[in-house]
Structure 1
């Protein structure tokens, strides 16, 4: 096998902006691109391979054909033929709704789905932009319902001003929302289950507000108050910097300069490895000599059967590296 690229799945959304196509150097007639799904096995949104021998096959077909060679044996044993991650870019021209996602247990009971733990890497943000993550004070489930009903839920949420390079880890159950003027990369469990809590009383052209899931969210929310919800890390060239580590994914930041080739071991992980290019461009060469170019805005899936890859660049490059931990 070889490193795989996929056809992009663009989502035209009411709150979408114009950053995704510029970032990925794409042309499209669609307006308001809010999301770009880079690798997905969500129903009706299964990614199609865009390069090499398997071009035209979708991710489900390749998993069924290659199994552990693609996913890794421990990933296959744990998830079967379900690809466990969904990789996205999100461009918010307007504030997204306040929401929460259920954990695995609740999602399985209610929707026969995975839960949704996720992380955000801020690619860019307008001056003054920010997002919501967690509560600013301890509240009870009953107080949550009361505050949703009387439009004061925003008064007890933590607001975080953001800038390029900021990272937020969002376990299932944490209340959150992306604010307007923010462009992010999102790594999440494969799930499209979202409970909408508050939507700023916005109305559509017919005067109707979007459906809220107050009761469903009540049992899904983690009501504890946490401090330091932004992930702190130290930049380091040519070495992986850990951004997130949980049962569902491990994510590193790789910042490589033009003076060094960085070797990354794949076989010891027993997992596919995903690389998402945030800045610059790199050349990836695997142990079979297969050469893959990776440009800003592109995502590549390296099969678990790969022994190692060498990453090099003629300029500086910034990559997110993601895999399923044992």
Structure 2
């Protein structure tokens, strides 16, 4: 296991949990909106925290060990297929949408963005917006942006710790204040804002919107949001595992550990490496050279290996590339 050092983003809607709760060294940044935990994106690369490759970016690491070790996507693009972020929403985020691969490649020379959210914590009354609550149209959405009523046609979904959501490209969405989220997404930083509450940046200017492009990529159909209470929960001794997402770019499995046990990590036919993210609690992973202590709010690069032994009381996400 190789611990990773994140890149911090101080967008104006961010809070202080990444620094204060997880005790991360954020330098002189006051508020941290996002912590890019596992990223090879040009706008923010995670680094190796210690060992032989300490200080190297993930791109430099995989250039050294071979991009083929992360499958065909890595070999062809010299990039990781997905990235992992922590998001601390102190204010409501903008109402936004991400494009598909086809649109993003044509217009942005970047990837599209399908993403998954895992709710690590939620204050009382916290919510997300995801999808339209009825069939709508480009004309209606534009009118509601202009008259500030866009929220009336969005699904407002209350959230609690442990919830997870998959947000396909083209789906209108927003994270509400009080949510702390682990986001697993395609490697991309393309976002089109439809509405931002007339919010101003640190220089007092209205933050830009990308309404024209947003209207071109939106899915205007009614999206029914259903909470799946069954969704494949498997018990492994004193642990349980649950598949949260399976996509062309990543597969996410959650493991809840309570005690001392061994889990069989899903093997990927494509990549030798996985992201290992602790989203709650703490514990130890048994390693040949001694135990590796793990705790919530931190991320490791995990090389595919024999069954993993974890002791403690924690919840982890293992992301197959």
| Equivalent residues in 2 for 1:1-326, closer than 5 Å | 3-28=1-26, 29-68=28-67, 70-71=69-70, 73-77=71-75, 79-204=76-201, 208-230=205-227, 232=229, 233=231, 236=235, 238-266=239-267, 270-285=271-286, 291-303=291-303, 306-313=304-311, 315-324=312-321
In structure 2, do the counterparts of structure 1 residues 230 and 196 end up closer, same or farther at CA, with 3 Å as the change threshold?
A: farther
Q: CA deviation at 1:260?
A: 2.1
User: Does structure 2 retain, via aligned residues, the 8 Å contact 1:265–1:307?
Assistant: no
Distance in structure 1 (CA, Å) of the matches to 2:296 and 2:67: 29
Q: CA deviation at 1:83?
A: 1.1
Q: CA deviation at 1:23?
A: 3.4
User: Does structure 1 retain, via aligned residues, the 8 Å contact 2:131–2:223?
Assistant: yes
Q: CA deviation at 1:302?
A: 1.3
Distance in structure 2 (CA, Å) of the matches to 1:321 and 1:202: 36
SS in structure 1 of the partner of residue 276 of structure 2: strand
Gaps of 5+ in 1: none
Q: CA deviation at 1:228?
A: 2.3
1:287-324 per-residue CA deviation (whole Å, 9 max, x = no partner) reads x6675332211111113xx33242311x3110011113
Q: CA deviation at 1:138?
A: 0.5
SS in structure 1 of the partner of residue 194 of structure 2: strand
Number of residues of Structure 1 aligned to a counterpart in Structure 2: 316
Further displaced range: 83-92 or 98-107: 83-92
Q: CA deviation at 1:68?
A: 4.8
SS in structure 1 of the partner of residue 219 of structure 2: coil
User: Does structure 2 retain, via aligned residues, the 8 Å contact 1:94–1:181?
Assistant: yes
Alignment RMSD, CA only?
A: 2.2
Q: CA deviation at 1:136?
A: 0.6
Distance in structure 1 (CA, Å) of the matches to 2:319 and 2:13: 28
TM-score, length of structure 2 as denominator length: 0.91
TM-score, length of structure 1 as denominator length: 0.89
SS in structure 2 of the partner of residue 114 of structure 1: coil
